Amino acid sequence: MSQTSRTRPDRCPGIVHPWPADDGGLVRVRVPGGQVSRAALTGLARVAEEYGDGRVRVTGRANLQVRAMPLTAGGVLAGDALAALEATGLLPSRAHDRVRNVLASPQTGLAGGRADLRPVLADLDALLLGDATLAGLPGRFLFTLDDGRGDLADKHLDLGLVALDATTAQLRVGEHWGDVVPLTAAPAALAALAREFLAARGTGPDAPWHVPELGDPLAAPRPASPGAAVATGPLPLGPVAGGTHVACPDEGLDLATIAGWTAATVVVTPWHGVLIPEEN
């Protein structure tokens, strides 16, 4: 992809940075890998009932949104609403509000796949939160962690990986393949590449938002390893290996629906659904 000409900074909404819509503030809650405790999701639904329109919506990047939130004259969330959102545990760092955009294969660690990527996901999120420099990533910058089943093959955009087996993965760097690394080293490798992207993009309103928009490759392209280019379709709705994939209606999820689920942790999916794991 040739370098894209930008004329403004990224304005992708978050919690600290809501979007001023006609019905009030739209807040987007990053949920790395779609992994969210039912307790936190219940807390978010309660916040939506008290301050917003009473619904929690699912985005195409497996994040969550609440609409009609109260804004101050300066366009930020009212203090009590922001405090209520922070109390859910879904905003561990105000500075990193918009940068924890991480997709992961929803069934990873539950059924199938070549590796359980949940430890990789946790380590990557910890590195993002622990690095003040990475708070400068654009709000649309995306990491993808595919456990080798190929369900995220059409989602790769900036940085990510595809598991080759239980212990190794090949990195994805923009439109190209990167190095083959141990899974235990992958989070640090991705964080390092993200810092290199920030250094390469520069600053100002015309700075690129995505790796493919850079004038030069971020890393030397590598050939795809056997199995890296696997591709499958979206997770179907209904009973699937490891649980049940339910659709999130356009109007969003309400508190009563969430209260009917019994799994301690559910997985928001990039197909506007929620995977409810089987109870063990």
Domain at 199, CATH number: 3.30.413.10
Residue 89 shares a structural domain with residue 31: yes
Domain range for 205 is: 108-213
The per-residue pLDDT for range 59-97, each reduced to its tens digit, is 999 999 999 999 999 999 999 999 999 999 999 999 999
On whether residue 220 sits in a domain, the answer given is no
Output the pLDDT for position 1: 42
If asked whether residues 145 and 205 sit together in one domain, one would say yes
Q: Quick one: CA dihedral 147, 148, 153, 157, positive or negative?
A: positive
32 and 91 together in one domain: yes
Residues 113 and 197 in one domain: yes
Regions of the chain with pLDDT less than 50: 1-3
pLDDT of residue 6: 55
- Do 79 and 150 lie in a common domain? no
Residue 20 lies in a domain: yes
Of 176, 177, 60, 189, which is closest to residue 120 (Cα–Cα)?
189
State the number of CA atoms in the 13 A half-sphere of 86 facing the CB.
14
The C-alpha atoms of residue 154 and residue 142 are separated, in whole angstroms, by 13
Statement to judge: residues 60 and 153 lie in one domain? no
Residue 230 lies in a domain: no
Claim to verify: residue 28 and residue 73 sit in the same structural domain: yes
The predicted pLDDT at position 205 comes to: 86
Q: What is the pLDDT of residue 5?
A: 55
Q: What pLDDT was estimated at residue 2? A: 44
Whole-model pTM? Answer: 0.95
Q: Looking at residue 89, which CATH number applies to its domain? A: 3.90.480.20
| 113 and 209 part of one domain | yes
Shared domain for 51 and 141, answered yes or no, is no
Split into its structural domains, the chain has a count of 2
| Lookup result for tokens 């290996």 | 241
> Residues 89, 114: one domain?
no
